């Protein structure tokens, strides 16, 4: 889960949080992908809407395929997988490519992004082994660029003040929150560099950054956009035409450009040159209020139209890399460099009048908000150093002009002749009044120790003459560099002194900052470092010059002395010797006071030669370049390219010297608060090799000396590695934070387009599936219609007439039985022995109580009622007391229907089946009183149990529950269906006598009941019905069997 | 937990079963007492059954407008009133109901059963023509002949059938059935007493 660090407390917060969970500070809103369908904001990592599922990213949006791929990537195998869908693409490093990074050496502002998690160890291998997201690789400051696209105000706040005041338009940038432009400009302008790896080692970082590989250099085309500003800036510093003769043509051509072209004094003109170069890259039409456009144009300067493209001279003569250098002046400034001073120098002078809002704006925006310390140092020191240098240069120029400023300078300064004369004639004076007031006012700003021996110049308050922007910057510098001990009586003067000016003087720093500051403008007043830096033959600078400078002559002996500005001489190595060929050098810019704990190892080894200088125009041939500059340039690009000088080694004057330690000690002064002297010394001693250089680097190292570790952290441009050319062919983004950027995947625009969600195609169901579904539905819901054939034979439905015939036949057989007894006389049947025993059991218990059980239902009444009536009549004849009982509810009803005269004495219902029979048995044996529903209870002396039943359970219950427990004799009159069961009990003598069925009852009647024919007539009807049934069964089955044997074709419906 | 809940019924069933068995063998009084309790419980169950039947059909009539439930309730109340009237005033309403309604209906149902059996037997070979059907219908015809009275015209044609076939096969079959039922009853009794069979836990 990605986190967003709070800007206030640096606490990590979950992505998407609106407020810091730790301090409550409002967090920058995260960029969301608005669903085109439901307008739901979704995180950028989603492809489909979390609410409605609509695809947020257009599927067909593929990143442009690189048309060119640098050889370095091919060899290294670093081909980033082309993402099929991404919200948008920022110039980023390759996944896992973090360079030789030691996370422990990272400054806090970079390490803050890794808070809460283990940062990747240096090395691509380790990082490449695990997939690292883009956000992980990119610093939080870069990730925030994506998220706070609409927070221009915040960007402005985070923008360093020095950058703001130098680049008014920079406030329109939206993404330059924490990245200094001088760094990003160099980074973004880097095209594919096949020898990038060697370049980084061969050149000083600042030079490698600036001199990298414009392809146009190889062809010798000098594009104004490609000329490093610092070199252009240096080239424009030619004060006179005499110097131009000795300078390279390309340099002279640049100097010939009218300065008035930049008289417009635009905001860019007022900014630092190297920043102006960046500003020139911005599209002119890009509105300042459109941060995205500015950002994109700033991000891809090569895609925008340079402001000075109409300048043919610069387009032709200046190499691109030279023109794009951050230290080079803008084209407009170059145009104005026909005279001694360039426009940017004039602008620096005019800054108090024209660029006043910029420092004010910078002052309003607190640089302490987000910018790291070293960046703040850069902004203050660098700007102050520039201003000081520029001021010195102007002053020196004016001094050498013998108090008569040239017209061009007056014109550039916007001063009338009187004012100019009043200013520049001060150079004739012996004191500091030889300099302009504003510059003279800066004189006391040197450290107090340096200024202490110097007589206090009688100058008005420096605040009166100094430009405001210098005055605003001065306190910061003093706060940083004013480490010298102030004399007690001079504290007030020291407050007014610009100590930061003193640090510009290495000699002053070498002297511990306590030496007297030489008066500027006079040979004695010149600072020692200026005198040291001055060419040997420019000793005039070291002397007090009271008279006007001689006119500029083409003589070499006077060129550097008179026409060449002192600042150029200052930048030139003191031991170069050959002043004639000394080209303008880039004004060195101080590296800010990087905290020593975060200061990386500075490169001290001379960079090896590299071919990164390919494309240096032929105008920069070694023949026309001074040696000291030649040493900074690399070898010729190759046989196909022009012969150009190549920087092989760092010049000696850039190498640390023995005085660096002293300089550092002088500059650094006492340990800051919170640190003891020992700790401070430890810190100083812990600096990387070249401590003198480090110390000096903190003071005098050029800003371009970006350490490798920092360069390794920079994100790579989208077009880096050859893709920049590809990106140039791609259409620029029209919206979003990357508007104007070419080569980026226009994702947000695609996602923002309202697009209907693709509905799935209607499901097609095959016919087989439809049949299966219908069958399933029929089986589940419509089972009646589902015919489950038993076999394939036709349905053998009996005809209705057959059913009616059978029914009529059965009814006739049963009903006609009594009437047809004579028609179908039955054979005489013999009474079985069980029947005779039945009669004997009744005959032997005459006059005794007999329990007659009527356990049959009315359904059996037709068969059993004649038997029961015959038995009851016999018992009555024998004089037995009859107690009727039944386990059937309808039993008592049957008893009521028996036409017995006299009627039975009592009757009762025995509930509980077996349990009731068990209780009855206990009652019969005398253990309990047998209660009946009648008034007379059952007697205990029952002699016989006569069981009339048609149910098997009743028979078994009476035999097993009552007969077995009471040993009472049981005789049974049962139906023919129960007769087989009763026969079993007859065999076991559990039943004494049995009359089984109508035939036996008829035989019993015929044998023992003479004169009764009821059972005989009933038997005749039953016999007829039975034989009819037998016949029908036989006929029917035979017919059915024969019917089934018929062929199927002849089968009908029956 | 469920096993614990099954233990009390098991103990009661096994205990009373053993006690009844012991009472039947050694102490008939105990057996009679227990069977008296069982009869009382059965009578109470019958009463509760009747009331439950009445309530159910009342609900079905009220909620489901079931007309047959209303007829059943009406018949129940009418029979109860007739029986109460017979016992209270000595009327013959209950016998009349039996004679006029119940007995004819049951006789008609039995006759229809005979008719359905006959019709199914006639079409047996027509619908299911196989050996078992033929054997079944042959045995039915044979035993009908053996059980039916012989017409005088046939004389002693089927006397041997009635004299040997019925006692041999029918009695053997019935005794086998009775023995099987007895063995099953013993087995079931043992299972109940051993707690293997728990119909009261279902």
H or E element at residue B30? helix B28-64
Predicted TM-score (pTM) of this structure: 0.40
Q: Which pLDDT score, from 0 to 100, does residue B60 have?
A: 92
* Span A772-789, average pLDDT: 73
* Cβ pair A348, A386 in contact under 8 A: yes
Residue A465 pLDDT level (bands cut at 50, 70, 90): low
Q: How high does pLDDT run on average in chain A? A: 59
Segment 28-67 of chain A within 8 Å of chain B by CB = none
Measured between beta carbons, the chain B residues lying within 8 angstroms of A1038 are 125
Q: Residue A747: exposed, middle, or buried by beta-carbon count in 10 A (0-12, 13-18, 19+)?
A: buried
**Closest CA relative to residue A507, chosen from A644, A670, A732, A699:** A699
Q: Cβ of A1022 and B149 within 8 Å?
A: yes
* Span A840-867, average pLDDT: 87
Write the pLDDT tens digit of every residue in A85-115.
444 445 445 555 555 555 566 656 655 444 4
Residue A471 pLDDT level (bands cut at 50, 70, 90): low
* Span A921-941, average pLDDT: 66
Write the pLDDT tens digit of every residue in A263-275.
333 334 444 445 4
B191: contact with A, CB 8 A cutoff: no
Q: Which pLDDT score, from 0 to 100, does residue B98 have?
A: 81
Instruction: Give the span between the Cα atoms of A426 and A404, in whole angstroms.
Output: 9
Segment 77-106 of chain A within 8 Å of chain B by CB = none
Return the exposure string of A824-838: e unless at least 16 CB atoms fall within 10 Å of the residue's CB, then b. bebbebebbebbebb
Give φ, ψ of A449 to 5 degrees: -65, -35
**Closest CA relative to residue A1017, chosen from A820, A832, A796:** A820
Q: Which pLDDT score, from 0 to 100, does residue B40 have?
A: 84
A1037: contact with B, CB 8 A cutoff: yes
- Rounded to a whole number of angstroms, the distance from the CA of A859 to the nearest CA of chain B is 4
Residue A627 pLDDT level (bands cut at 50, 70, 90): low
Q: Cβ of A984 and B174 within 8 Å?
A: yes
Instruction: Give the span between the Cα atoms of A1002 and A832, in whole angstroms.
Output: 12
- Rounded to a whole number of angstroms, the distance from the CA of B96 to the nearest CA of chain A is 9
Instruction: Give the span between the Cα atoms of A313 and A981, in whole angstroms.
Output: 136
Q: Which is more confident, B44 or B152? A: B44
Q: Which pLDDT score, from 0 to 100, does residue A862 have?
A: 81
Task: Provide the 8-state DSSP code for A742.
Answer: B
Q: Which pLDDT score, from 0 to 100, does residue A331 have?
A: 44
Q: Which pLDDT score, from 0 to 100, does residue B56 have?
A: 94
Return the structure tokens found at B13: 């069933």
Instruction: Give the span between the Cα atoms of A641 and A218, in whole angstroms.
Output: 5
- Residue found under tokens 């001065």: A474
Return the structure tokens found at A495: 């407050």
* Cβ pair A723, A742 in contact under 8 A: no
* Span A593-601, average pLDDT: 45
Q: Is residue A278 over pLDDT 50?
A: no
| Rounded percentage of chain A residues whose pLDDT exceeds 70 | 31
Residue A137 pLDDT level (bands cut at 50, 70, 90): very low
**Most confident by average pLDDT, A452-456, A732-736, A814-818, A1029-1033:** A1029-1033
* Cβ pair A3, A30 in contact under 8 A: no
| Rounded percentage of chain B residues whose pLDDT exceeds 70 | 95
Q: Is residue A935 over pLDDT 50?
A: yes
* Cβ pair B108, B119 in contact under 8 A: no
Write the pLDDT tens digit of every residue in A319-359.
455 444 444 444 444 444 444 444 555 454 444 444 444 44
Alpha carbon A190 to its chain centroid, in Å, reads: 29
Could you tell me the CA-to-CA distances from A2 to A16, A25, A35, A249 in Å, in that order? 9, 18, 21, 56
Could you tell me the CA-to-CA distances from B77 to A530, A697, B51, B59, B99 in Å, in that order? 135, 119, 11, 16, 18
Write the pLDDT tens digit of every residue in A354-397.
444 444 433 344 444 444 455 454 444 444 444 444 444 444 44
Residue A945 pLDDT level (bands cut at 50, 70, 90): very high
Distance between first and last Cα of chain A: 82
* Span A805-817, average pLDDT: 78
Measured between beta carbons, the chain A residues lying within 8 angstroms of B115 are 806-807, 810
All residues at 6 or more sequence positions from A865 whose CB lies less than 8 Å from its CB, including other chains: A894, A897, A898
Write the pLDDT tens digit of every residue in B175-188.
888 889 889 999 99
Q: Which is more confident, A193 or A162? A: A162
Return the structure tokens found at A748: 């947000």
Q: Which is more confident, A1013 or A71? A: A1013
Could you tell me the CA-to-CA distances from A815 to A268, A1014, B108 in Å, in that order? 133, 14, 13
Q: Is residue A559 over pLDDT 50?
A: no
Residue A236 burial (CB count, 10 A): 31
Q: Which pLDDT score, from 0 to 100, does residue A456 have?
A: 44
Segment 688-717 of chain A within 8 Å of chain B by CB = none
Torsion of Cα atoms, A63 then A64 then A65 then A69, to 10°: -110
Q: Which pLDDT score, from 0 to 100, does residue A911 have?
A: 77
Could you tell me the CA-to-CA distances from A994 to A837, A852, A952, A978, B66 in Å, in that order? 7, 14, 14, 11, 48
Write the pLDDT tens digit of every residue in A969-988.
999 999 888 888 888 888 88
B1: contact with A, CB 8 A cutoff: no
B27: contact with A, CB 8 A cutoff: no
- Rounded to a whole number of angstroms, the distance from the CA of A939 to the nearest CA of chain B is 18
Q: Is residue A556 over pLDDT 70?
A: no
Return the structure tokens found at A351: 């800054």
Q: Which pLDDT score, from 0 to 100, does residue A823 have?
A: 65
SS3 letters across A238-288: CCCHHHHHHCCHHHHHHHHCEHHHHCCCCHHHHCCHHHHHHHHHCCCCCCC
All residues at 6 or more sequence positions from A11 whose CB lies less than 8 Å from its CB, including other chains: A5, A20, A21, A22, A23
Instruction: Give the span between the Cα atoms of A577 and A556, in whole angstroms.
Output: 12
A912: contact with B, CB 8 A cutoff: yes
Task: Provide the 8-state DSSP code for A113.
Answer: G
**Closest CA relative to residue A345, chosen from A287, A396, A401:** A396
In chain A, which residue's Cα lies nearest the Cα of B103?
A: A858
Q: Which pLDDT score, from 0 to 100, does residue A650 have?
A: 56
- Rounded to a whole number of angstroms, the distance from the CA of B139 to the nearest CA of chain A is 11
Instruction: Give the span between the Cα atoms of A668 and A673, in whole angstroms.
Output: 12
Q: Which is more confident, A1022 or A479? A: A1022
Residue A738 pLDDT level (bands cut at 50, 70, 90): confident
Within a 13 Å sphere around the CA of B78, how many CA atoms are in the beta-carbon half?
11
B188: contact with A, CB 8 A cutoff: no
Segment 123-152 of chain B within 8 Å of chain A by CB = 123-127, 129, 134, 137, 140-141, 144-145, 147-152
Instruction: Give the span between the Cα atoms of A637 and A614, in whole angstroms.
Output: 4
């Amino acid at each position: 889960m990605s986190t967003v660090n709070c800007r206030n407390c640096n606490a990590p917060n979950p992505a998407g949080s609106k407020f810091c969970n730790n301090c409550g500070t409002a967090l920058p809103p995260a960029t969301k992908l608005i669903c085109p369908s439901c307008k739901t904001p979704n995180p950028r990592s989603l492809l489909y809407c979390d609410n409605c599922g609509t695809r947020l990213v257009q599927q067909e949006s593929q990143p442009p395929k690189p048309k060119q791929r640098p050889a370095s990537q091919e060899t290294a195998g670093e081909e980033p997988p082309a993402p099929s869908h991404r919200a948008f693409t920022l110039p980023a490093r390759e996944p896992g490519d973090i360079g030789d990074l030691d996370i422990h050496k990272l400054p806090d502002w970079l390490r803050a992004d890794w808070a809460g998690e283990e940062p990747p160890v240096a090395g691509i291998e380790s990082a490449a082994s695990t997939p690292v997201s883009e956000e992980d690789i990119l610093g939080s400051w870069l990730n925030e660029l994506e998220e706070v696209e609409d927070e221009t105000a915040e960007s402005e706040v985070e923008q360093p003040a020095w950058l703001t005041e130098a680049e008014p338009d920079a406030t329109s940038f939206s993404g330059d929150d924490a990245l200094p432009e001088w760094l990003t400009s160099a980074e973004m302008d880097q095209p594919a560099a096949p020898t990038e790896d060697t370049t980084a080692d061969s050149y000083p970082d600042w030079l490698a950054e600036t001199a990298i590989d414009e392809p146009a250099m190889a062809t010798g085309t000098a594009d104004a956009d490609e000329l490093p500003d610092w070199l252009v800036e240096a080239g424009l510093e030619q004060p006179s035409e005499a110097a131009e003769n000795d300078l390279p043509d390309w340099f002279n051509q640049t100097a010939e450009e009218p300065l008035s072209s930049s008289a417009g004094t635009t905001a860019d003109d007022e900014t630092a040159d190297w920043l102006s170069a960046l500003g020139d890259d911005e599209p002119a039409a890009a509105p300042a209020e459109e941060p995205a456009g500015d950002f994109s144009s700033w991000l891809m300067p090569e895609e925008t139209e340079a402001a000075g493209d109409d300048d043919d001279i610069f387009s032709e003569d200046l190499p691109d890399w030279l023109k794009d250098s951050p230290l080079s002046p803008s084209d407009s400034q170059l145009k104005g460099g026909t005279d001694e001073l360039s426009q940017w120098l004039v602008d620096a002078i005019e800054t108090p009048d024209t660029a006043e809002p910029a420092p004010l704006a910078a002052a309003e925006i607190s640089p302490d908000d987000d910018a790291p310390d070293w960046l703040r140092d850069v902004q203050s020191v660098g700007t102050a150093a520039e201003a000081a240098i520029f001021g010195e240069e102007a002053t020196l120029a004016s001094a050498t002009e013998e108090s008569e400023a040239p017209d061009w300078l007056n014109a550039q300064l916007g001063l009338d002749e009187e004012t100019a004369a009043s200013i520049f004639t001060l150079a004739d004076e012996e004191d500091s009044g030889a300099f302009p007031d504003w510059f003279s006012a800066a004189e006391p700003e040197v450290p107090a120790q340096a200024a202490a021996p110097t007589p206090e110049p009688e100058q008005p308050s420096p605040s009166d003459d100094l430009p405001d922007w210098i005055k605003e910057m001065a306190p910061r510098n003093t706060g940083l560099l004013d480490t010298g001990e102030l004399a007690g009586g001079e504290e007030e003067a020291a407050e007014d002194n610009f100590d930061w000016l003193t640090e510009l003087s290495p000699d002053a720093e070498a002297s511990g900052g306590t030496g007297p500051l030489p008066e500027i403008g006079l040979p004695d007043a010149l600072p020692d470092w200026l005198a040291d830096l001055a060419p040997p033959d420019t000793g005039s600078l070291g002397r007090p010059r009271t008279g006007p400078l001689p006119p500029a002559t083409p003589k070499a002996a006077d060129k550097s002395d008179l026409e060449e500005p002192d600042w150029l001489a200052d930048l030139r190595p003191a031991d170069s010797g050959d002043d004639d060929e000394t080209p303008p050098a880039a004004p060195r810019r101080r590296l800010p006071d990087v905290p020593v704990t975060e200061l990386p190892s500075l490169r001290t080894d001379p960079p090896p030669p590299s071919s990164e200088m390919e494309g240096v125009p032929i105008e920069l041939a070694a023949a026309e370049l001074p040696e000291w500059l030649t040493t900074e340039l690399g070898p010729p690009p190759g046989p196909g390219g022009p012969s150009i000088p190549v920087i092989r080694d760092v010049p000696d004057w850039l190498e640390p010297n023995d005085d660096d330690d002293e300089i550092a000690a002088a500059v650094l002064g006492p340990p800051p608060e919170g640190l003891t002297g020992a700790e401070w010394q430890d810190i100083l001693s812990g600096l990387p090799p070249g401590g003198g250089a480090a110390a000096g680097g903190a003071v005098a190292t050029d800003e371009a000396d970006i350490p490798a570790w920092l360069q390794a952290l920079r994100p790579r441009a989208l077009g880096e590695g050859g893709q920049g050319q590809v990106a140039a062919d791609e259409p620029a983004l029209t919206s979003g934070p990357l508007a104007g950027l070419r080569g980026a995947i226009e994702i947000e625009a695609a996602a923002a387009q309202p697009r209907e969600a693709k509905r799935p195609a209607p499901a097609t169901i095959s016919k087989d599936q439809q049949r299966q579904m219908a069958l399933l539905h029929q089986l589940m819901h419509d089972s009646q219609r589902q015919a489950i054939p038993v076999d394939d034979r036709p349905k053998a439905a009996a005809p209705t007439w057959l059913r009616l015939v059978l029914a009529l036949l059965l009814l006739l057989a049963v009903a006609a039985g009594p009437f047809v007894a004579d028609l179908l006389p039955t054979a005489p049947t013999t009474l079985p022995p069980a029947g005779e025993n039945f009669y004997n059991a009744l005959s032997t218990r005459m006059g005794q109580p007999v329990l007659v059980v009527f356990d049959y239902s009315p359904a059996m009444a037709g068969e059993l009622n004649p038997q029961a009536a015959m038995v009851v009549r016999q018992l009555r004849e024998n004089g037995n007391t009859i107690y009727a009982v039944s386990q059937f509810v309808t039993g008592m009803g049957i008893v009521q229907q028996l036409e017995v005269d006299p009627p039975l004495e009592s009757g009762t219902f025995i509930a509980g089946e077996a349990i009731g029979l068990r209780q009855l048995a206990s009652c019969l044996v005398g253990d309990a009183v047998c209660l009946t529903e009648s008034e007379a209870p059952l007697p205990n002396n029952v002699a016989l149990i006569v069981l009339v039943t048609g149910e098997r359970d009743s028979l078994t219950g009476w035999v097993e529950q009552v007969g077995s427990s009471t040993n009472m004799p049981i005789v049974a009159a049962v139906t023919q269906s129960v007769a087989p069961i009763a026969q079993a009990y007859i065999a076991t003598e559990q039943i004494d006598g049995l009359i089984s069925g109508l035939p036996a009852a008829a035989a019993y009647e015929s044998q023992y009941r003479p004169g009764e024919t009821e059972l005989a007539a009933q038997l005749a009807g039953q016999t007829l019905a039975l034989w009819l049934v037998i016949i029908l069964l036989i006929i029917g089955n035979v017919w059915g069997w024969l019917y089934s044997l018929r062929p199927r074709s002849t089968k009908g419906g029956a | 937990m469920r096993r614990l809940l099954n233990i009390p019924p098991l103990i009661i069933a096994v205990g009373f079963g053993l006690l009844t068995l012991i009472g039947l063998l050694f102490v008939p009084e105990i057996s009679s007492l227990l069977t008296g309790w069982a009869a009382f419980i059965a009578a109470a169950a019958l009463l509760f059954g009747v009331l439950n039947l009445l309530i159910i059909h009342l609900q079905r009539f009220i909620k489901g407008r079931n007309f047959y439930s209303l007829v059943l309730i009406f018949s129940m109340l009418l029979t109860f009133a007739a029986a109460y009237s017979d016992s209270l005033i000595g009327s013959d309403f209950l016998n009349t109901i039996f004679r006029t309604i119940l007995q004819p209906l049951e006789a008609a149902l039995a006759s229809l059963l005979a008719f359905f059996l006959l019709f199914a037997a006639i079409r047996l070979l027509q619908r299911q023509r196989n050996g078992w059907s033929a054997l079944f219908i042959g045995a039915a015809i044979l035993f009908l002949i053996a059980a039916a009275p012989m017409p005088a015209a046939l004389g002693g044609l089927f006397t041997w059938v009635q004299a040997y076939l019925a006692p041999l096969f029918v009695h053997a079959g019935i005794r086998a059935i009775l023995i099987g039922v007895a063995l099953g009853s013993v087995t079931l009794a043992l299972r109940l007493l051993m707690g293997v069979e728990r119909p009261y836990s279902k």
